[in-house]
Amino acid sequence: MFVRLRQSGVKAVLDVLHQILDQELESASDQTFALLLETSCQLLEQFRQDPWSAEGYEMLKRLSPRQASTLFDAMMRGTFPDGNPDDESLTEPAIILLAGLMSASGAHANALGFLDALIARQDRQSLRYARWFAQCRAIGCSDRISDYWPTMPDVTGSPDELAAALKDEPLDIGTRRAFVRALAEKRIALGALDELSIGLSLPVDEHAKMGLAQDLAVLASFLLAQGDNTLLAKQRLHWGLAAYPAVAKEAADYFDATVQVGKLPFLDEATASRIRSFFLVSAGYAATVAVPTGRQLSPYPTKNGKPHVDTVWLEITNFCNQKCGFCPDPFREEARNWLPLDQVKGLIDDLAENVSVGSMQLNAYGEPLLHPHIGEILQYIKDRKLPWPTFFTTHGLTLVEKKLKQLSNNYPNGIAVSLHNDSQESYAATRSAKIGDYETLVSRVTDLLRQMVSEQASSHLRLYQMVCNGYEAKEVDAKVRQAFPDSPERMLKHIRSWERIAADIVLKLPAEVRAEAIVNSEARIETAFRVKLHDERNYVPILRWKAKSGELHEAFISTRPVGTYANLLLEYDPRWKVKREVVNKYTCGFTKTPSLAIFASGRLGVCCLDLNSTATFGSLSDFANLKEALTSPAAMRMFAELANGVATNRGCQICLASGSQLCNVG
Ligand code: SF4
Ligand code: SF4
């Protein structure tokens, strides 16, 4: 019977308590007995369902020391009838309950010692929370965060009411503070932290945020004292603090002043030191205060001492002579431009010297092969032996003889072609007749592929293929959608045609070139057709060759449902209504691994999707170099906003619009 109790089944506890109390509390009134029994069962059940149960802890607080002591004895005797306690066999809810009963009975040192020993063996957050509760009881302080807020809020209300008010007034810091508090008081810690970091990132005067900084100091103290380290890992909060160092410093100063006067008595010195360090590191980003050594000053990721960007989009030109029916480029409002050769070289030098780069694309929107010096740019990149790979995407009809000569033995690490069409009908429905037709497109892409294989290029060729497979964005014009392969059979026919092209190329290659044309199974082609989201790993190879370097390279077809890329068309199209909000549910994925767009306009942004470079934090001319640009206060503010779903510019408002995150990167 007692062994069953170790597994903390409520029924077992009830049975055991019933028997023990029956024997030992013969003189107790039925009412007392019933209350104890009911309380013990409810407590155990509460902690079984939720180890952080607010109701469970409240019930513990309502027990008298005598009641708690009686319950504790009963539980111990029921659990260990042989009188040999073995705390290793206790389950989590039983530990929490026993520690809580010890505290409630006044045996504070025992409760803390019991939990310390268990945490040392098994460091669970729920046990650290139980310890914090025991600590509060030991020193007789309140465990309610509402007793510690710095000032009374001007605004009050339930979380739902405050959330509704913020819909109308998203920039109102007072309402947001009240919302943060309401969530924290309901122990919705993650929600409170997110709302707080949104508040920190809003485009309002930083003096308005000082109260929020004080709330943060209290919330941080509670969370860390309770053993919850979420705050320290919240990148969006860290961005918010780094963007507004004076606010972070206010949080640090308020925290210090509050701790010093003993207003946060549950904090031990080690936890207080971690919190102080967190604020100072954020505030110290701008080097306004001394920061603890050995810590990264900025949330901006660095590699080898340089700010790291995952992808650089170097838009060497924003000219494009295609008119794709799925691309917003025709809605471009900015002047068409190309960056002069010297400037492109200078930017490449700047990147090499000052920035750690994951990879580089020579375009955002726009057609890179229209740049008059594309050959020299590629040659320069090759000669510089850059430590990162370079790619570009072309629409394919620019692959004329002159461009093929410029590309000859001068390839980047990969070339992508927006092939997309599978027939003249498909081409005519989605592309410009002024610059060519489907046959010409196939012929020019074939010429490039033949040249790359013959020259044993150390480069791959990716052919992008839109599909209309049920996962495409339905808002895309039906005429455009249906222009792309809309069945596995049609996809199969298309792939087989490219496999034949590949076989023909291989057949006519000089003997010394080692290449192989690939024939795919129908199953693989169907899998590629049914792609839900664009996935670089979901492709169909058509040709494999051995480069001069000895590596194997491939040409392959990459599928993606219509509208999962270059799809901001929908929102730029004046016929398509988009809701624009400053605070959005979605956040920008490019802040998780920051990227950099250098637009042909000279503006600097975070991603390639922002057609009119509105989502930008300055221009090249504003900064001495790209490191300074990336770590500038303006860039920090933009990262803070985007990491928190705050959109102050038109590009991001379009992208993060409620209800549909069409750029699909977050
Ligand atoms: S998708 Fe590319 S090729 Fe087509 S219009 Fe847009 S920028 Fe030009
Ligand atoms: S929110 Fe969208 S448009 Fe704005 S930077 Fe991020 S990905 Fe680009």
Residue 29 pLDDT: 61
Instruction: Give, for 312, the enclosing helix (H) or strand (E).
Output: strand 306-314
CA 220 from centroid of its chain's CA atoms: 22
Which atom of ligand 2 lies nearest, measured to the CA of 590?
6
What separation in angstroms does the CA of 269 have from each of 234, 272, 470, 568?
A: 23, 5, 58, 52
- From atom 8 of ligand 2, which residue's Cα is the shortest distance away? 607
Q: How far is the CA of 370 from the centre of ligand 1 (A)?
A: 12
Residue 612 pLDDT: 83
Task: Please list, in sequence order, all residues whose beta carbon lies within 8 angstroms of the beta carbon of residue 425, skipping any fewer than 6 positions away.
Answer: 483
Which atom of ligand 2 lies nearest, measured to the CA of 655?
2
| Ligand 2 pocket, CB under 6 A | 588, 590, 606-607, 609-610, 615, 642, 651-652, 655-656, 663, 665
Angle between helix axes 30-49 and 10-24 (nearest 10 degrees) is 150
| Ligand 1 pocket, CB under 6 A | 320, 322-324, 327, 329, 365-367, 395, 418, 566
- From atom 6 of ligand 2, which residue's Cα is the shortest distance away? 588
Q: Give the SS3 label for residue 442.
A: helix
- From atom 4 of ligand 2, which residue's Cα is the shortest distance away? 652
User: How many angstroms separate the CA atoms of 537 and 157, rounded?
Assistant: 49
Q: How far is the CA of 599 from the centre of ligand 2 (A)?
A: 14
- Closest ligand to residue 317's CA: 1
Residue 369 pLDDT: 98
CB atoms within 10 A of CB 287: 10
At residue 518, φ and ψ (nearest 5 deg) are -115, 140
At residue 612, φ and ψ (nearest 5 deg) are -100, 25
Residue 9 pLDDT: 47
Q: Give the SS3 label for residue 517.
A: strand
Q: Mean pLDDT for each 10-residue chunk of the chain (666 residues)?
A: 42 55 55 71 88 90 86 80 77 92 95 93 92 94 92 84 95 95 90 95 94 94 89 84 89 90 87 85 53 49 87 96 86 91 98 97 95 98 97 98 98 97 96 96 98 98 94 79 94 98 97 95 95 82 97 96 64 68 88 90 90 90 96 91 91 71 40
As a three-state string, the secondary structure of 324-375 is CCCCCHHHCCCCCCECCHHHHHHHHHHHHHHCEEEEEECCCCCCHHHCCCHH
> CA 446, 451, 452: angle at the middle one, nearest 5?
100
User: How many angstroms separate the CA atoms of 20 and 37, rounded?
Assistant: 11
As a three-state string, the secondary structure of 488-513 is HHHHHHHHHHHHHHHHHHHHCCCCCC
Q: How far is the CA of 662 from the centre of ligand 2 (A)?
A: 10
Q: How far is the CA of 607 from the centre of ligand 2 (A)?
A: 6
CA 328 from centroid of its chain's CA atoms: 26
Residue 366 pLDDT: 92
Q: How far is the CA of 316 from the centre of ligand 1 (A)?
A: 14
User: How many angstroms separate the CA atoms of 201 and 171, rounded?
Assistant: 10
Q: Ligand 1, residues 317, 324, 392, 397: which to mutate, most atoms within 8 A of Cβ?
A: 324
| Pure H helices in 186-299 | 189-201, 210-225, 230-233, 235-243, 245-260, 269-283
Q: How far is the CA of 356 from the centre of ligand 2 (A)?
A: 21
User: How many angstroms separate the CA atoms of 453 and 169, rounded?
Assistant: 60
Residue 374 pLDDT: 98
The structure's pTM equals 0.83
